[in-house]
Structure 1
Amino acid sequence: MTHTPPTAPFALGRYRQGNDVVLGLVAGDRIRPLGEEELGASDLNAFLAAPDWDRLATLAEAEGPWTALSEAVLTAPVQPRQVLQAGANYRTHVVQLIVGGLTKGESALTPEEARDRAERIMDARAASGRPFVFIGMPQCVVGDDVPLTLPSYSDVHDWELELAVVIGPEAFRVGRDEAMSHVAGYTITNDISTRDLLFPSDVGDIGADWFSAKNAPGFLPTGPYLVPAPFVDPANLAIRLELNGEVMQDATTAELVFDVAALVSTASQTLPLLPGDILLTGSPAGNGQHWKRFLRDGDVMTGTIEGVGTQVVRCVAEAAA
């Protein structure tokens, strides 16, 4: 797969060399390996604990063992120990789901009643200052070099393109005013969700089954790049997902109910966020539930976030047992 070069002066990527995966520095249309000597740290997460971007900027301009980016097979650029996910963080997205009767307990409402209720819910959330964060499984993080296998137990697998924050120095109970100093960079994650597993019919009002709905193998395609925080202003980035060339999601991060600082601070109140962890910021309107169109064998999703890159995810049906 050929990836569009990053627009940032440089970025980090991980790519395959035989059976191994190598950390690399991407500058323009070239990539070079980063060993411990070049990185100044034992591995990626150790580097992110105290990122020295000036060191990499020098390497980006230096002679070295560069390879054409078009010849590299990129995989997920991060190796998180924890995955945190922000829910219901785009106003229009949540309103769409509730108006469409696509959340638990909304089927008895008229569209007008549902919209009014949805807007009141989102206004109250924004006023409360309390983001909603849940956990994902790090083993679901893969690169877009891995096809997305659609499990055969459902026909309603959905997309959720998201800006993902990559944690730098460990963050534990940090305030919003200091949260951004714990952000190393950004990447792209598509939070795949199986809709009919989200609200099980046999558990009453216990709540959502986030584990079953969102953690099948490969359900967090991520990358292709980790773009350093100094090159990205997360406040107003265009975010767009195309399905087989048709635009399904088209928004900006300016629509976030809670910004990156608020999300990092909130997540860090419960447990330490570790270097290399990722925090998904939420997905805008335009999911498959809204369009009544879910993922099928042969589908191609192209997700682009301004300044962060473009990922291309190919879907395949699960092989028959």
Structure 2
Amino acid sequence: MTAQTNRFTAPFALARYRDGDAVQLGLVAGERIRPLGPSDLGAPDLNTFLGAPDWNRLAALAAAEGDEWMPVGEVVLTAPVEPRQVLQAGANYREHVIQLVAAGLTQDGSRTPEEAREFAAEMMDKRAAHGDPYFFIGLPACVVGDDEPLVLPAYSEVHDWELELAVVIGSRAFHVSRAEALQHVAGYTIVNDVTTRDLVFRKDMKEIGTDWYRAKNAPGFLPTGPFLVPAQFVDTSDTNLRLDLNGETKQDGSTSDLLFDVAALVSGASQTMPLLPGDLLLTGSPAGNGQHWKRFLRDGDVMTGSIEGLGTQVVRCVAEGDAS
């Protein structure tokens, strides 16, 4: 599928696009795109550039004329990043978690819905004030562009969507404080963190708990992009996220509801393992996934995910065996 008309709002962004059998890094400005080679970047590849990004260099290229420019609508965009690591934050939107906890607390009838919600809200506020972010890891091989259909594995009928703001790491971050964390953010992109719900918890040995490998790491389960927008152009304090399924809005939230903001997440994740240039750090998903609606992904579904300032990705779902 070609680039979407609903694009980012920044003066320029990075993208990657299909060039025959290869993938080419590109600079997007308005309705046009041009290839970026090592001499343009001042670096041998994208991740090296992100480790010490010279955005002024790209701003000058974005303002220049030349024969290199092409209409962006005439190229096929793919995932704008090549991460070596993917970290995912769970249970990080206050309202979403309150809904989930309150629903569980009312099942045995011991609390009214109002009491359950009050209890859950107090729990989340304490966690935000005194707790730590919750992380798990994904496979970089699952990162694809929205030019590829999402193949729904036949082993389940409960594949779910989770639209997320994704941090793209810049300079290497290890043991960084919250005050330092944003200095290590190169930019942001869109990710749909697809999840197979009936595989999240082990049934054969409940003591093991969650099985994020099987639940979240089928091929193509991290549709990403299509743009990497430099951090200087993105305010993540109150950014809208919206996901439409076949034209019907299912998720409509804001990053103002995050329990742990971007700085807290980058700092927290960096305490265990160095975050490397180009890595992805997903920030969690707002309320409104398929589990809430009791409606999961089916063959022929189209997910349109938009994040304010970052543009739109459109993902087409196909049953396993029907991909074309």
- What displacement does 1:111 show? 5.8
Rate the CA distance shift 1:131–1:100 in 2: closer, same or farther, 3 A. Answer: same
Q: Which segments of 5 or more consecutive residues in structure 1 lack a partner in the other structure?
A: none
**Worse-superposed segment, 117-126 or 270-279:** 117-126
- What displacement does 1:98 show? 2.8
- What displacement does 1:307 show? 0.5
State the SS of the aligned residue for 1:247.
Answer: strand
State the SS of the aligned residue for 2:208.
Answer: coil
CA RMSD of aligned residues (A): 1.5
Distance in 2, Cα, partners of 1:258 & 1:13: 28
Which residue number in structure 1 is paired with residue 235 of structure 2?
233
State the SS of the aligned residue for 1:205.
Answer: helix
* Matched ranges for 1:140-151 at <5 A: 140-151=142-153
- What displacement does 1:106 show? 8.0
| TM-score, length basis structure 2 | 0.95
Which residue number in structure 2 is paired with residue 2 of structure 1?
3
Give deviations 1:101-150, integer Å, cap 9, x for gaps: 4xxx9854556364344324312211214111111111000000000000
| TM-score, length basis structure 1 | 0.95
Distance in 2, Cα, partners of 1:120 & 1:251: 20
Distance in 1, Cα, partners of 2:26 & 2:3: 16
Give deviations 1:39-69, integer Å, cap 9, x for gaps: 1100000000000000000000112210100
Which residue number in structure 1 is paired with residue 79 of structure 2?
76
* Matched ranges for 1:1-321 at <5 A: 1-4=2-5, 5-64=7-66, 65-101=68-104, 107-108=107-108, 112=113, 114-319=116-321
Which amino acid in structure 1 is aligned with residue 245 of structure 2? L
Rate the CA distance shift 1:199–1:107 in 2: closer, same or farther, 3 A. Answer: farther
Rate the CA distance shift 1:194–1:114 in 2: closer, same or farther, 3 A. Answer: farther
Q: Which segments of 5 or more consecutive residues in structure 2 lack a partner in the other structure?
A: none
Which amino acid in structure 2 is aligned with residue 41 of structure 1? A
Distance in 1, Cα, partners of 2:16 & 2:200: 32
Percent sequence identity is 69
Distance in 1, Cα, partners of 2:72 & 2:119: 49
Does the 8 Å CA contact 1:7/1:307 hold for their aligned counterparts?
yes
Distance in 1, Cα, partners of 2:239 & 2:59: 24
Which amino acid in structure 1 is aligned with residue 308 of structure 2? E
State the SS of the aligned residue for 2:284.
Answer: coil
**Worse-superposed segment, 150-159 or 105-114:** 105-114
State the SS of the aligned residue for 1:279.
Answer: strand
Q: How many residues align?
A: 317
Rate the CA distance shift 1:308–1:168 in 2: closer, same or farther, 3 A. Answer: same
